[in-house]
Amino acid sequence: MDSSNALGEYLRARREQVRPEDVGLRRVGVRRVPGLRREEVAMLAGISSDYYLRLEQGRDRHPSVQVLEALADVLRLDADATAYLVGLVQEQPRAVPKRQRPRTEPVPESIRELIDGWPNNPAYVQNKYTDVVAVNALGAALTPNYAVGVNLLTAVLLDPAEQALRRDWDELTEEGVAVLRSELGSAVDDPRLVELVGELSVRSERFRQLWARHDVRPRRGRLSLLTHPDVGDLELKSDKLTIGGTDGMTLVVFHAVPGSRSVESLALLGSLVASSDQTDETTEQRDQTPRPSD
């Protein structure tokens, strides 16, 4: 990640993903670059080639919103990606010193009480880096990676068991990387982000490919397709709710569509959790019962 030229990196990555025919240009001769040429982007956006080159090279860091919107149109960006592009040139708060570790933020007690009171809805809380910071019993039963301290993006990308669980693994990893980039914007000097991106870049080819695309998406609910080892296939809708008063914490709660087979499967999983809890409680009580002396 190059914190000095976030705008240029983004423009170049998106330019390489637009084909000439996508924007009405004829493909003539051999093209040495993927996607559009710089001069083609400049022509279609109504700016000079020299000015666009300065933008990509980081020699001009303050284009107008009108210029950015014109570029977004040429690069076929949707509303979320356009907002991200505009945000890259807005003044950013002073970066956290690289040697300073981010402070661990506590999960609001009311949120812990809330999710623990949901016996039929798996739920967990994650921070903006996708670290799990709280989870209820049914959530933990969906996957061992729904556990406090686990980084979900790392787990999904690197844990073979997680890939086997997720029937929609390709879509999920694509979305997860795009959401991470969207949420953190141009804060590429964040020490936790540098650490996470560095680790995944070394260990995951899938991550390297997706991160290089510079895709951005907002965090939103989705339909998760799981094949659970104990209860079989599950189709669970998730809602992702921002927790106010925190630094980017998100509450993720799952539910099955009423009347679907997944309702029964989720209920079965809940009964297995309850049975396991009862067994653990009985064992604990037996261990604590005083035994008569010989």
Residue-wise pLDDT for 258-286, tens only, equals 999 999 999 999 999 988 766 655 445 55
Q: Which tokens go with 159?
A: 């844990």
* Residue 30 confidence class, pLDDT cut points 50, 70, 90: confident
Q: Provide the sign of the torsion angle of the four alpha carbons 62, 65, 69, 72, taken in this order.
A: positive
Say if residues 226 and 234 touch (Cβ distance below 8 Å): yes
Question: CA 105 to CA 85: how far, in whole Å?
Answer: 29
Say if residues 158 and 145 touch (Cβ distance below 8 Å): no
- Kindly state the percentage of the chain with pLDDT values over 90: 69
pLDDT tens track for 45-96:
999 999 999 999 998 888 999 999 999 999 999 999 999 999 888 755 444 4
- Predicted local confidence at residue 186, as pLDDT: 62
**Chain-wide mean pLDDT for the chain?**
88
Say if residues 80 and 217 touch (Cβ distance below 8 Å): yes
| Beta-carbon contacts of residue 108 (< 8 Å; ≥ 6 apart) | 243, 245, 246
Within 10 A of 267 (CB to CB), how many other CB atoms are there? 14
Say if residues 195 and 160 touch (Cβ distance below 8 Å): no
Q: Name the residue with higher pLDDT: 131 or 193.
A: 131
Helices (H), the chain: 6-15, 38-45, 49-57, 65-74, 79-88, 109-116, 137-142, 152-158, 160-165, 169-184, 191-203, 205-213, 261-288
Report which of 42, 251, 50 is spatially closest to residue 133, judged by C-alpha positions: 251
Say if residues 217 and 121 touch (Cβ distance below 8 Å): no
Helices (H), 89-168: 109-116, 137-142, 152-158, 160-165
- Predicted local confidence at residue 136, as pLDDT: 97
Q: Which tokens go with 153?
A: 């993006």
Question: CA 193 to CA 187: how far, in whole Å?
Answer: 8
CA distances from 132 to 18, 48, 108, 187 (A): 36, 47, 14, 21
* Residue 185 confidence class, pLDDT cut points 50, 70, 90: confident
Q: Which tokens go with 47?
A: 């700016």
Question: CA 227 to CA 235: how far, in whole Å?
Answer: 9
Say if residues 133 and 109 touch (Cβ distance below 8 Å): no
Which neighbouring-strand residues pair with 237?
223, 255
